Amino acid sequence: MRIAFCCTGTEPEPWLAGLRAALPQAQVALWQPGAGRADYALVWAPPQQFFDEQPQLKGVFAIGAGVDALLKLRLPPNATVVRLDDAGMAVQMAEYVCHAVIRHFREFDVYEAETRQGHWTSHKPRKRADFPVGVMGLGVLGQRVARALSQFEFPVNGWSRSPKALDGVRSFSGPAQLDDFLAASRVLVNLLPLTLDTQGIMNLATLSRLRPGGYVINVARGAHLVDEDLLALLDSGQLAGATLDVFRVEPLPPDHPFWRQPKITITPHTAARTLRATSIAQIAGKIEALERGESVVGRVDRGRGY
């Protein structure tokens, strides 16, 4: 069995060593143009040349949760495309989102600004019932986030492409229930996969349907959000603020207006990072399962886009 590693911007040696330890029977190598043909590949932001030279691949494993960029390439027609279904990212995402929600709800951002100015001020406690949180996208990460938020006794709404039943979560599904979902939410958390249907889904029309004083948390993809519409709603006061971890262009350009909007908290695409050891163990197990002719979790539906 031959495995190729083609991950742009990733230090290869720790991955290669981990894969060799997990799959001692395999030949594992860093891909170079003109390299021999492989059976399986681990990829992140690979060039089209890689797939052009590897049309026989049986399996392609993305070392991250999103596959929108990968699916824009011409992929081997018979290869099974697999994304990481957790690999330690779910708990990180739950931490990040809960921190952002609680920071806004408890006004810790306001307290921080006031104390930096030397002001000792107390604010009246706010009611959780007044801050229902809507989670868009109820995959592995979205479900973990929704469950974590419910532990803090926030009302939690969930919206997904198809109906999902989660304890403690009021579920909405499909385009017909999107407006009702938004109207029932004050804080909006985006964890959707990026597809043609979801690109620009957070825009003037949809964000305006949130309860007054709405708050936006985007931890999925920058292209889900129409930047100008968010800025307009913040300027008008209809939205109270936003926490953004992903952007249309990364790193976020120095002249982007998000930097100058005090109601926006920016983090550098760090909400949930791939954990190498956990990812290698998961990928190795799935390669072995595919070799046995078994099905694997995380298989990507190319037509659906995730």
* Active-site residue list: 221, 269
Distance CA 90, CA 33 (A): 35
Q: Note whether 151 and 144 are within 8 A (CB).
A: no
Q: Note whether 248 and 256 are within 8 A (CB).
A: no
Strands 133-136 and 156-160: parallel
Strands 59-62 and 156-160: unpaired
